[in-house]
Amino acid sequence: MRNVVLMGPPGSGKGTQASRLSESFGLEHVSTGEILRAAVRGHSELGLKVESILAAGELVPDDLMMVLIRETLATVSVGGAGWLLDGFPRTKPQAEGLVEVLEDLGIEAPTVVEIVVPDEEIVERLSGRLTCDKASHVTAKGDAKEGDPCPECDGALYIRADDTPETVRNRLNVFRAKTEPAKAELARNWPVVQVNGLGRPADVTQRIAGVLEAEH
Ligand code: ADP
């Protein structure tokens, strides 16, 4: 099995890269943001609990996230080529929890890749970007408008409630305060490989694919 943890700030292209890489390596794409948004859309018990948290760009409490990730990883670790985790861990306790869950499941160290992008570039990329309501494909704001069909599937494009400039800034602050320590915690346990996130998406995919191939 090949298991990957993809880290990087909001707007680093993490979701896009996660979709492409999981497809080309045949990995199960586990996006915690996508699982949570699907729960909100489906008005499930979890969805009702997390809707306002997501809209404010805050983090869902660690205990809820740990239940979700333990269940999900137990399922996707049976058979299959492996998984790619996108959006988790986001806090130090989640990082500690992840190390523990993998130990419990008898899974060896995953490959941890961090996509590195400067802040100014992130605010520019995220403010007003368009996301599809079916599979979270992302389209640049210059290329389409709200309500247009998704170029990649039969979904429709909308602006995520947490992609407004104020919420973007809040998400970046949350990232600095909470997710940097999560990365440090992973680095204490496993090697973390940094990859430059600037340039064309296809180039970034190539860089990360090179890292994954070198690991196996
Ligand atoms: P982005 O990486 O662009 O911020 P995601 O789709 O990964 O977007 O996450 C969207 C939102 O879902 C986050 O802002 C947060 O509210 C919630 N979320 C996702 N993953 C986690 C997590 N591991 N812990 C807590 N909240 C999470």
Q: Decide if 14 is catalytic.
A: yes
How far away, in angstroms, is 57 Cα from ligand 1 center? 8
CA atoms within 13 A on the CB side of 24: 13
Token pair for 52: 């306002």
Superfamily of domain 4-117+173-208: P-loop containing nucleotide triphosphate hydrolases (3.40.50.300)
pLDDT at position 169 is 84
User: Is the per-residue pLDDT at 153 higher than 90?
Assistant: yes
- Tell me the average pLDDT of the chain: 93
User: Is the per-residue pLDDT at 128 higher than 80?
Assistant: no
Q: Decide if 207 is catalytic.
A: no
> Ligand 1: which of 36, 50, 133, 163 to mutate, judged by most atoms within 8 Å of the beta carbon?
36
**What does the pLDDT look like over 18-41, one tens digit per residue?**
999 999 999 999 999 999 999 999
User: Cα torsion at 211, 6, 34, 97 (round to 10°)?
Assistant: 140
pLDDT at position 215 is 81
pLDDT at position 11 is 86
How far apart CA 145 and CA 38 sit, in angstroms, is 22
**What does the pLDDT look like over 89-110, one tens digit per residue?**
999 999 999 999 999 999 999 9
Q: Is 87 in the pocket of ligand 1 (CB under 6 A)?
A: yes
Active-site residue, from 92, 129, 178, 183: 129
Pick from 133-137, 145-149, 181-185: least confident:
133-137
Please choose, from the candidates 147, 101, 127, 126, the residue with its C-alpha nearest in 3D space to the C-alpha of residue 8: 126
Helix (H, G, I), strand (E, B) or coil at 70: helix
Beta bridge partners of 7: 114
pLDDT at position 58 is 87
pLDDT at position 198 is 95
**What does the pLDDT look like over 75-89, one tens digit per residue?**
999 988 999 999 999
Q: What percent of the chain has pLDDT over 70?
A: 100
From the alpha carbon of 86, which atom of ligand 1 is closest?
A: 7
**What does the pLDDT look like over 162-173, one tens digit per residue?**
888 788 888 888
Q: Is the dihedral of CA 131, 136, 140, 143 positive or negative?
A: negative
Q: What are the boundaries of each domain within the chain?
A: 4-117+173-208
Residue 62's pLDDT band, with cuts at 50, 70 and 90, is very high
Q: Decide if 70 is catalytic.
A: no
From the alpha carbon of 56, which atom of ligand 1 is closest?
A: 16
How far away, in angstroms, is 201 Cα from ligand 1 center? 21
> Ligand 1: which of 46, 59, 69, 96 to mutate, judged by most atoms within 8 Å of the beta carbon?
59
How far apart CA 197 and CA 122 sit, in angstroms, is 11
How far apart CA 212 and CA 216 sit, in angstroms, is 7
CB 11 within 8 A of CB 138: no
pLDDT at position 134 is 92
pLDDT at position 171 is 86
